[in-house]
């Protein structure tokens, strides 16, 4: 029986195991889910053991633990380090979910005619990292594994992976590998499989504007005392100019301008603007002047307010001039922009432009560097070969708008360029209500990852002259 047949035979179990994992609400951002996050870590450890690793361990950190497991088939064989995360984004607003976020159900949709798993974390990233566990199990079971495998599955990706940094630095020896493989990105479509070769960085900030020392009656004081919400709106509005360029001094200093040839190549990726607008129900896309939608999310930095609040937000009307207003603002960064430097520029700028009538406090939440992955490595070639064998089509290299801050960590600390072979779709609604992940994507992913292990071992062996 081939590896493919093994996967086919075990389909139902592979799916049910994932559903069990999805039932654990491992929301790392919200302390009330603390025990659930730990429970998810224990689940992952057990899954690795069952799949056949030599040893698995739950490694404590100052935050949530990192689950590590390895199978060394031969110390001289090449090693694939797999990274993923078992924590998930908060599921609120719950009322916008068609089914409860932690009670997975399988439903058929236009994008997933063979069914999709609806649950928080189904695509990001439980459904995706779990494919690696199952691909590993399948290869091992069929005696086909020709490389060593190391798993490093963390629980703080959605809150900035702060403790992963220390862990990687302290465990360089243990994590030694020849490639890092990550499935936490998306493909263009099942008809256009792709490999992500660029990711944006992130600088996530919280802004607090304080006006008067207490909430005031807007009739008695309105017009004479600065309203922190009005001021916050002014500050935020001023961060983009008429061309939707970001106005923070120095923000673009290190942003690379690509030549026409590169931009033309980038814009050749399959993309239907009309279809994109229709799916989002928007009349127009909107972004930095002079760039296409693909460029705006791929090679240009951005600034978005992720949350804003202040004053009276419940039913009805309250005539209050509030004491405070808040916003969460994140900037997506491109290669060479340092997230710490950008965070500082943001803070300095906001404080410089704030009127004397209010006090402004800026707190950086977390950040990560942008990444560009070379396309001339064995890892990349192996990904291409695996995709071609599984999908019957050549992989398209794409640059994605999201951020996986730890990619630059692997480059710096382990000297490894990560291979970003994700199987999600943009329509999977990750970070949104009704997140889902195609059942077909799940099984195609398992198959493709198994093929990656095969091709990587084989190509690596050839390079070494074995």
**250-289: which residues touch a second copy (CB under 8 A)?**
280-288
Using CB under 8 A, which of 40, 51, 153, 229 touches a second copy? 229
Nearer to a second copy, 224 or 260 (CB): 224
Is residue 432 a contact point for a second copy (CB under 8 A)?
yes
The answer to whether 157 is a known catalytic residue is yes
Does position 143 interact with a second copy (CB under 8 A)? The reply is no
29 is a contact residue toward a second copy (CB under 8 A): yes
Task: Give the pairing of strands 105-107 and 116-118.
Answer: antiparallel
> Tokens 């068609």 correspond to what residue?
98
In the bound state with a second copy, the residue whose beta carbon lies nearer, of 176 and 432, is 432
User: Could you say whether residue 161 binds a second copy (CB under 8 A)?
Assistant: no
Least distance in angstroms from the C-beta of 100 to a second copy: 17
φ, ψ of residue 16 to 5 degrees: the values are -65, -35
The CA distance from 101 to 11, in Å, is 23
Select from 69, 211, 422, 438 the one that contacts a second copy (CB under 8 A): 211
Tell me whether strands 436-438 and 116-118 are parallel, antiparallel or unpaired: antiparallel
Cis status, amide bond into 156, omega within 30 of 0: no
The reply to whether 87 belongs to the active site is: yes
Interacting span for a second copy (CB under 8 A) from 54-62, 73-81, 307-315, 414-422: 307-315
Residue 264 host element (H or E): helix 260-266
DSSP secondary structure of 97-132: -SS-TTS-EEE--SS-TT-EEESTTTTTTHHHHHHH
Closest CA to 269 of 301, 294, 296, 289: 294
Catalytic residue among 124, 154, 157, 417: 157
Site string for a second copy, 309-338 (x = CB under 8 A): xxxxxxxxxxxxxx--xxxx-x-x------
> Which residues 359-398 are close enough to bind a second copy by CB under 8 A?
365-366
Q: How many residues does the chain have?
A: 466
Asked if 75 and 160 touch (Cβ cutoff 8 Å), the reply is no
- The correct pick among 2, 99, 220, 247 for binding a second copy (CB under 8 A) is 220
| Residue 193: both structure tokens together | 């499989």
Binding string, residues 38-77; x marks residues near a second copy by CB under 8 A: ----------------------------------------
Give the E-state strand segments of 211-290 in sequence order: 216-217
Closest to a second copy by CB, 302 vs 408, is 302
Q: Which residues pair with 154 in a beta bridge?
A: 85
Q: Least Å distance between CB 279 and a second copy? A: 8
CA dihedral (283, 289, 294, 298) positive or negative:
negative
Active site residues: 87, 157
């Amino acid at each position: 029986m081939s590896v493919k047949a093994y996967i086919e035979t075990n389909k139902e179990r592979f799916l049910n195991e994932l559903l069990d994992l999805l039932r654990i609400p491992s929301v790392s951002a919200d302390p009330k889910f603390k025990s659930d996050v730990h429970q998810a870590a224990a689940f992952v450890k057990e899954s690795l053991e069952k799949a056949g690793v030599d040893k698995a361990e739950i490694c404590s950190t100052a935050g949530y633990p990192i689950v590590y497991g390895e199978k060394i088939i031969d110390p001289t064989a090449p090693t694939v380090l797999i990274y993923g995360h078992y924590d998930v984004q908060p599921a609120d607003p719950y009322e916008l979910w068609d089914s409860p976020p932690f009670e997975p159900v399988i439903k058929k949709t236009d994008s997933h005619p063979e069914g999709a798993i609806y649950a928080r974390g189904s695509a990001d990233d439980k459904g995706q990292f779990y494919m690696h566990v199952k691909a590993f199990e399948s290869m091992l079971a069929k005696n086909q594994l020709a490389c060593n495998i190391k798993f490093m599955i963390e629980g703080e990706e959605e809150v900035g992976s702060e403790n992963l940094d220390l862990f990687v630095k302290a465990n360089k020896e243990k994590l030694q590998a020849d490639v890092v493989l990550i499935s936490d990105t998306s493909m263009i479509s099942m008809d256009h499989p792709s490999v992500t070769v660029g990711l944006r960085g992130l600088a996530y900030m919280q802004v607090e504007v304080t006006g008067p020392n207490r909430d005031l009656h807007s009739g008695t004081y309105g017009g004479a005392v600065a309203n922190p919400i009005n001021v916050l709106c002014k500050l935020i509005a001023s961060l983009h100019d008429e061309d939707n360029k970001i106005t923070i001094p120095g923000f673009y200093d290190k942003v690379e301008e690509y030549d026409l040839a590169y931009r033309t190549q980038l814009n050749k990726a399959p993309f239907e603007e009309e279809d994109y607008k229709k799916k989002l129900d928007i009349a127009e896309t909107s972004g930095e002047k002079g760039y296409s939608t693909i460029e705006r999310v791929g090679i240009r930095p951005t600034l978005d307010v992720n949350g804003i609040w202040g004053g009276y937000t419940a039913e009805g009307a309250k005539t209050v001039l509030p004491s405070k207003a808040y916003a969460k603002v994140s900037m997506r960064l491109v290669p060479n922009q340092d997230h710490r430097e950008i965070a500082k520029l943001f803070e300095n700028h906001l404080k410089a432009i704030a009127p004397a009538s209010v006090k402004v406090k800026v707190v950086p939440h977390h950040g990560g560097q942008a990444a560009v992955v070379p396309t001339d490595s064995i890892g990349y070639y192996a990904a291409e070969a695996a995709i071609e064998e599984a999908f019957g089509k050549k992989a398209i290299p794409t640059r994605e708008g999201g951020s996986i801050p730890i990619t630059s960590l692997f480059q710096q600390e382990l000297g490894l360029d990560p291979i970003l072979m994700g199987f999600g779709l943009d329509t999977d609604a990750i970070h949104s209500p009704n997140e889902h992940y195609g059942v077909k994507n799940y099984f195609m992913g398992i198959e493709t990852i198994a093929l990656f292990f095969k091709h990587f071992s084989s190509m690596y062996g050839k390079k070494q002259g074995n």
